Structure 1
Amino acid sequence: MTIKRIMMFILVIAVSINFIACSETEGEENKSAEKRAVSVEVKTMEGISFSDYINVVGVVNANQSANVSFEGTGGQLKAVKKDKGSFVKEGEVVLEIENDILKANYNAAKAQYDLAQMTFEKQEQIFKENVNSEFQYLQSKYQRDQAKAGYDLAKTSYEKSFVKAPFDGFINQRFFDVGEFAAPGVPLFQIIDDNSLKIIAGIPERYADDVKLNQNVEIFFPELDLGKIEGKISFISKALNPDNRTFEVEIRISNKNRSIKPEMLAELKIFTRTYDNVVVVPEDVVAKIDDGYVVYTVSDGKAVQKKVDIIKRTNGQVAISNGLVSGEKVITVGYQNIVEGENVNIVN
């Protein structure tokens, strides 16, 4: 064997040994890569009912509130029967206007009417007995009716001097003092019925198709320790406010302990729609891609990218309608650097 052949033989053996060594190294690296896995935490999905809602702020108003004025021709305020802070029943006298002349006119008209009524009854009786003429009978009837009209007018004028409560409620303000002149139509006092209240709120016009009568509303008063109060929408305005492009809604609530005051602010959660059997995930696990949104799930120890359709984002949660089903495991921790098909190790 020549030296040249010996050298060729040695070279072939060296190359073969190097190839075998490289192959073994690559195999070990591949096995190591296959064994390497990213530690993640997951949440198993469950189909639940999810309610969509609108958050707005409303203002409390009394269900009934009135500034009551004097209906007569005017007069001095004679007496205050019920003052500020007093509870009154419907028809109860609150203020009395000077009425001595009205009372005298009333008494005179009543006496005249009583006499005319008595005269008519006598004339009617003797007319039936054919003692007097029909003319005398009709004349007495006319005089009775005329006296009755005068009596009714005097009675009404006198009764109007007693200014009464138009409904049950509290006297909230009194605008006149005794001795001051009360002109017709000028408010004398304010009465408020705060046993039942209404909350008025403006809803942006983009929600016009979502808000309906009798929808459930959760009500919170930041300044009161009342917790959650439930109500329903009782009124929806037919027109927008052109200044702020909102439409008005009303929610009626009870106020039996009278802790809620008119003009207070209320935080409202108006429930517009309920979705059944949807999946809800933390908002930060949903990633934006060019043509939509994705989350990562785990299947057979590998990360799987799932495209999803979002219904609503609220309070750090996302409701999903398509792409996930109950029982799937969504990666909630460790998803940031995961790629499709990567090995994962669930640690929770």
Structure 2
Amino acid sequence: MKRFSRMGSLVLLAVIGFSCGSEDELSEKKAALESLKKEYAALATEIEALEKEVAALDPEFGKETRKTVLITTVEAEKGTFQHFVEVSGAVLSKKNVNISGEVSGRVQEIVAVEGMQVKKGAVLARIDAESVQRNMEELETQLDLARTVFEKQERLWEQEIGTEIQYLEAKNRKEQLEKNLASLQTQMDRTTIRAPFNGTVEMVNVRLGELVQPGTPMFQFIGDSDLFIEADLSERYIGSISRNDEVEVRFPSLGVAETTKVTAVGAVINQNNRTFKVEARLPDLPKAKPNMIAVLRVRDYQAEDAVIIPNYLILQDNKGDYVYVVESGQSKKRYIKRGMVYQERTEILEGLQGGETLVDKGFRDVGDNFNVSIAS
């Protein structure tokens, strides 16, 4: 047992010694690698500085020593640049009305329900007309007597019997009762609430048995025709849009977009949100409904013969914005002045004339006066 214990101790000491030796060697190698990296970085900096100094004195040396970068190119576009602003609006109806009662009485019947689509003249509700009916029956009785008296008086007058005043009184009595009956008939008709045009019952504001008076709102009714689009536009665009301008309108729920025209521009700024109203004609879309969301795309800026480039090509340094232009097989830094930006395109006001070849893919790998090779 002692022999085996002694042998185990020797093995353990050997393993520990080997392990310590390996750790020391690894630490030495790491330290050496770190030292070489620092020396390499310092040498690379010195080499780059010397190359710049030599290249400044000998341009041919710079062309020979600088590596060639493989790139693709894109041309600075010359054309019409347009900027648009998008604003959410809604489909509204000019036939959005409150239907009120015109006579007093209790609601006897409610035919319409919310969301119900009806045709012009369809019955929406009925008001109790018992008192009007009784008055009509009484007047009809009186009118029958008045007609009989008038007819007899008329025959006597034709035979030159009686006085003219008797004839005129009988005639006046009959005509007055006819007018009164016609008035009651009008009231009778008004006890039946009908749809004024084709549309949808948006809201029912009365209940069965409720007492209503003339002017009491009973239904909110929206017509299917005369629909338009209304949106609130920021006051900063007050001079950018006018009547008859073309706008694009998109309906997210329908997945369609159409071009239409502005029909009205508000002249008053809302003090609460600093916006003004814009109305546009609704395109011929049978599925469009009142209160549906619509997104208006309004053009607020346009420039003819503008220089246009992709946004992602523009870089920045302490001096400002710049792009790389390919000239004589080299990339050249060109400082520019931006204009308006819309989606992925930028208008260039200064620095480019249009038609220049710009570095596209690889634009982050090149610098000023780098040799470049354009990939086919």
Tell me, yes or no, whether TM beats 0.5.
Answer: yes
- The Cα shift of 1:154 comes to 0.9
Distance in structure 1 (CA, Å) of the matches to 2:268 and 2:257: 30
The letter of the residue matching 1:53 is F
CA change 1:308–1:146 in 2 (3 A) is: farther
3-state DSSP of counterpart to 2:269: strand
The letter of the residue matching 1:93 is V
Cα shift readout 1:167-194 (whole Å, capped 9, x = no counterpart): 2102232233332322332222222224
Q: How much is the aligned-residue C-alpha RMSD, in angstroms?
A: 3.6
Which residue of 346, 349, 356 corresponds with 1:318?
A: 346
Tell which deviates more after alignment, 102-111 or 309-318: 102-111
- The Cα shift of 1:250 comes to 2.0
Aligned to 1:247: 276
Q: Say whether residues 1:200 and 2:233 are aligned partners.
A: no
Distance in structure 2 (CA, Å) of the matches to 1:108 and 1:157: 15
Q: Say whether residues 1:283 and 2:311 are aligned partners.
A: yes
Q: Say whether residues 1:71 and 2:102 are aligned partners.
A: yes
Tell which deviates more after alignment, 229-238 or 298-307: 298-307
Asked if the contact 2:120–2:198 (Cα under 8 Å) also holds between the matched residues in 1, the reply is yes
CA change 1:141–1:321 in 2 (3 A) is: farther
- The 5-angstrom pairing of residues 1-348 of structure 1 reads 31-35=60-64, 36=66, 37-73=68-104, 75-109=105-139, 112=142, 135-136=165-166, 138-194=168-224, 197-222=227-252, 224-254=253-283, 256-258=285-287, 260-287=288-315, 294-304=322-332, 306=334, 308=336, 310-320=338-348, 323-336=351-364, 343-348=371-376
Tell which deviates more after alignment, 61-70 or 240-249: 61-70
Asked if the contact 2:95–2:225 (Cα under 8 Å) also holds between the matched residues in 1, the reply is no
Distance in structure 1 (CA, Å) of the matches to 2:302 and 2:201: 44
Asked if the contact 1:194–1:255 (Cα under 8 Å) also holds between the matched residues in 2, the reply is no
Distance in structure 2 (CA, Å) of the matches to 1:125 and 1:316: 95
CA change 1:138–1:163 in 2 (3 A) is: same
Count of residues in correspondence between the two structures: 320
The letter of the residue matching 1:191 is F
Cα shift readout 1:69-112 (whole Å, capped 9, x = no counterpart): 21112x11112334333322223221111112212323444565
Cα shift readout 1:96-149 (whole Å, capped 9, x = no counterpart): 111122123234445655776787688779878877655445444543443343
CA change 1:120–1:309 in 2 (3 A) is: farther
Tell which deviates more after alignment, 64-73 or 329-338: 329-338
Tell which deviates more after alignment, 89-98 or 37-46: 37-46
The letter of the residue matching 1:244 is N
Asked if the contact 1:109–1:154 (Cα under 8 Å) also holds between the matched residues in 2, the reply is no
Distance in structure 2 (CA, Å) of the matches to 1:121 and 1:324: 101
The letter of the residue matching 2:255 is L
Structure number with higher helix proportion: 2
Asked if the contact 2:311–2:344 (Cα under 8 Å) also holds between the matched residues in 1, the reply is yes
3-state DSSP of counterpart to 2:282: strand
3-state DSSP of counterpart to 1:167: coil
- The Cα shift of 1:163 comes to 0.7
Distance in structure 1 (CA, Å) of the matches to 2:358 and 2:326: 7
- The Cα shift of 1:239 comes to 0.5
Unaligned runs of 5+ in 1: 1-25
TM-score by length of 2: 0.70
- The Cα shift of 1:166 comes to 1.8
TM-score by length of 1: 0.75
CA change 1:328–1:107 in 2 (3 A) is: farther
Tell which deviates more after alignment, 319-328 or 127-136: 127-136
Distance in structure 1 (CA, Å) of the matches to 2:247 and 2:308: 22
CA change 1:39–1:176 in 2 (3 A) is: same
* Percent of matched pairs sharing the same residue: 28
Unaligned runs of 5+ in 2: 1-53
Distance in structure 2 (CA, Å) of the matches to 1:205 and 1:102: 56
Distance in structure 2 (CA, Å) of the matches to 1:274 and 1:239: 25
Structure number with higher strand proportion: 1
Aligned to 1:21: none
Distance in structure 1 (CA, Å) of the matches to 2:220 and 2:325: 65
The letter of the residue matching 1:175 is N
Asked if the contact 2:69–2:365 (Cα under 8 Å) also holds between the matched residues in 1, the reply is no
Say which one has the larger Rg: 2
Asked if the contact 1:196–1:256 (Cα under 8 Å) also holds between the matched residues in 2, the reply is no
3-state DSSP of counterpart to 1:240: coil
- The Cα shift of 1:236 comes to 1.6
Distance in structure 2 (CA, Å) of the matches to 1:313 and 1:336: 21
The letter of the residue matching 2:93 is A
Tell which deviates more after alignment, 164-173 or 275-284: 275-284
